[in-house]
Structures are given as C-alpha cells and as structure tokens.
Amino acid sequence: MTTVVLADDHQLLRQAVRRALEDAGFAVLGEAGDGEEASNLAGRLQPDVVVMDVTMPVLDGIRATRRIRELAPGARVVMLTMHGEESLLADAIDAGASAFLTKDCSLQEVVKAVRSAADGDVMLSPDLAASLLDQFRDPAADTPAPSPLTKREEEILQLVADGRSTTEVARELFISAKTVKNHLASIYVKLDARDRTQAVLSGVRMGIVHLR
C-alpha cells in the first residue's frame, strides 16, 4: 500500500486532501504544518509520497523538498501551489519534486498526481508545463530579432567575436583589410557600438553572434 505524508499550513486543506487520498486507498501516515515538521516526519516515517505546499512557515516547500531528498531518499514529493507561483516550478523540479499542481485543481488531480509520483513519473498541469518552457526559453530565440546587419557583416562580426584581428579576418575572407574596416564601421553604426567589443556584445545579446 502506498503511504503518504501531508504538509500544508492550512488544516482545512490537509483534511480535504487526506479524505480524498484515503478514499483512493492511500495510507496517510501523518500531517505537518510547516516544512521543518514535514521533512522530519518524512525522515521518520519514510513514506512513498509527500504532498506539500510550496509556501509554508519555517521552511518553504522547495527547501523542505531538498531536505526530504536527503532524509527520505525513497520519497517522491508532490507540490501544491497557489496561483502566481509559477516561477517556483523550475526550482521545485530542480529540488526533486515529482509533481507540481495549482491548488485550484480537483482533488482527483491530486490523487492522480500521488499515484503517478508513487510510480515514479513526473506530472504537471498543462498550463504549468507551458510556463516552464516560457521561463527557460531564450527571450531572443522567439523574437528572431531581424538582424540589421547584412550577411557579410554578420560573418565578419562572428569572426571578430572568435578572436580574429582585422587583418586575420581579411586573410580568412580573401578581402582587403580596408574592406573589413569598412564593414566594421557600418556594423558600429547599425549596432550603435563604439568599438568591436561593444559590437560583439550587442551581437551576442541579439543572437546574431554565437559564443564558441
């Protein structure tokens, strides 16, 4: 039988979840009102799953999760959260949480998450999965930032970023050093840079130039 420990600073919510879990056939071994208690309890009882709020007194859910990973390595953590705490999702997963649900989900969702967690799967509500992607997506990636530079200028800027001097770039492209200088000058104007360093940096920020 799958065993569970519950942690939330609201007793009402604990009771509701406990009922739902017990009805679903889980054994709720204990309850805690803060993260400290929760991790201690988990260490002592070694449950299969810990259901926990992210925001709790004393020790927040993220830290508590890390502690549980140490004290009860076999325990999976299902994280509950209020709306507007999406930013914690990545940290939660990073800390080792197996599920992350918003509190406006149904009790059935919680039961399902606990079941998934016990099986070793990771479950997310779909809106949260989307927000996870958003958080990590490179802001420059989706806005391909139509480069103001011409192909040739991009090519030269990349070579400069790779450490080539003006003359080296010229040799590499079989053109005169003067031409390279001219291209650089027009790059500076377009990128509002005063020298190669700033130009390269702008290029990096805009995703035109790639660090090697």
Partner DNA sequence: GCCAAAATGGGTCCCGAGACCTATTCCCGG
Partner DNA sequence: CCGGGAATAGGTCTCGGGACCCATTTTGGC
Please count the residues of this chain forming the interface with DNA, following the rule CB under 7 A: 22
Interface residue with DNA, options 5, 157, 183, 202 (CB under 7 A): 183
Interface with DNA in residues 124-163 (CB under 7 A):
150-153
The span of 14-22, 64-72, 96-104, 179-187 binding DNA (CB under 7 A) equals 179-187
Neighbours of 44 (CB within 10 A): 13
Q: Does 144 bind a copy of itself (CB under 8 A)?
A: no
Residue 126 binding result from a copy of itself, DNA, none, given CB thresholds of 5 to 8 Å by partner type: a copy of itself
Neighbours of 23 (CB within 10 A): 10
Q: Does 208 bind DNA (CB under 7 A)?
A: no
Neighbours of 118 (CB within 10 A): 18
Nearer to DNA, 7 or 170 (CB): 170
Nearest-angstrom CA–CA distance, 18 and 58: 22
Q: Does 200 bind a copy of itself (CB under 8 A)?
A: yes
Burial of 12 (0-12, 13-18, 19+ CB in 10 A): exposed
Reading phi first (left if > 0) and then psi (alpha if -120 to 50, else beta), residue 120 is in left
Residue 178 binding result from DNA, a copy of itself, none, given CB thresholds of 5 to 8 Å by partner type: DNA
Q: Does 165 bind DNA (CB under 7 A)?
A: yes
Nearer to DNA, 77 or 200 (CB): 200
Cα 160 from chain centroid (whole Å): 33
What is the total residue count of the chain? 212
Q: Which of 160, 147, 136, 203 is nearest to 170 (CA)?
A: 160
The span of 5-13, 52-60, 78-86, 168-176 binding DNA (CB under 7 A) equals 168-176
Interface residue with a copy of itself, options 73, 84, 133, 139 (CB under 8 A): 133
The span of 24-32, 76-84, 118-126, 169-177 binding DNA (CB under 7 A) equals 169-177
CA angle centred on 86, ends 96 and 105, rounded to 5°: 90
Nearest-angstrom CA–CA distance, 13 and 11: 5
Site residues (vs a copy of itself, CB under 8 A): 90, 93-94, 98, 109, 112, 116, 119-126, 128-130, 132-133, 135-137, 160-161, 163, 194, 196-198, 200-201, 204-205, 211
